[in-house]
Structure 1
Amino acid sequence: MSARIRILEAAERRFAEDGIEAVSLRQIAAESGQRNTSAVAYHFGSRSALVAAVYEHRMTPVNARRLELLAARPDDTIRTYVRALVEPLAETLADAEKAGRRSWYLRFLAEAMRYPEYDPGTVALDRPEASSIRALIAGLRDATAGLRLPPGVFVERLRLLALLVITTLADRERHPGTGVGTETLIAAGAALLSDPKE
């Protein structure tokens, strides 16, 4: 495993467990086995760039899986798009469990959402590995068009959906084998977007 990947995985774990602002780049370098305490700065430059690199590292395969689901979708319903949001993230947990290893990505995302400067909804949305999210938003906008939600309400509900999905899956990641099931989460997310009331 390359030094860069070791740093990314150490950063993801420490950010998820201790908080993005609570961990120094030197601590991440040490935990990743780097003797040079400035290795993180050498590879990534800054904390923000490191957070963005963790997104890229984890979201690239999630994005590919989500694009597959979107291409194969049986219909253009709200539930279909919510499923395409939830399932690839839930699969990261299932894959880790099958491989007998821990995962931290969902807790990392939940932590990042607490800070405007790291929130994936703002800082990562324009990145190539977020193309499936952009497609999902467009699909959900079309699927909810009949509800005639004001644009502000639609955006608020998307944010609530993201918080619901990420924090629920982060809880499952923290406590493997427990928590809300994937189908229940999909149903709750679809209900959140389906209510015509403002």
Structure 2
Amino acid sequence: MSEQPAPPLLGTTQRVLLLLMAVALATALLVLRGGVNSGSPMEQLARRSLEPDQALSNGRPTIIEFYADWCQACREMAPAMLALEQSSKNKLDIVLVNVDNPRWADLVDDYDVNGIPQLNFFAADGQPRGRSIGVRRPEELTILGDALITGQALPQLAGVGNISAVNESNTTRDVMAGPRSHG
């Protein structure tokens, strides 16, 4: 007695119908999640961010934000940072540097990051102008961005400090907790 091969589980029509349903479901999920550019504002900024060296040498003022994915304050400020980035296209660079990425350990040390979010402000020639630690409101970010774009002095806002030249040989550096030491 010879065995007959089992009939295929799905015929051609059923396979085509199943494929069409899978494509429709995938398309619906993509639309519901916000399209191809989905992701949190922080993820969008991080994806589009230039390398710090490139941003500091391209002739545009720059804001470098030191952040962490787990940082609630960073997430809170991200929509305003994204809005600033979008409204100042080709006039101002917004660069995100994740303090938890070992790739940026030297940069975190170079800029004495000891709390996040930390914003470092740079003139168009790449020279440091100031820094801010903590959450900034959208209107404050707009004012700071405008000052950088127009080459004006940074506004006098609580928590925003100007950068001044310090002779390292005449100072002692206090040991401070790193940006990853709080949660």
Flag whether TM exceeds 0.5 (same fold): no
Which structure has the highest helix share of the two?
A: 1
**TM-score normalised according to structure 1 size:** 0.29
Give TM-score scaled by structure 2 length: 0.30
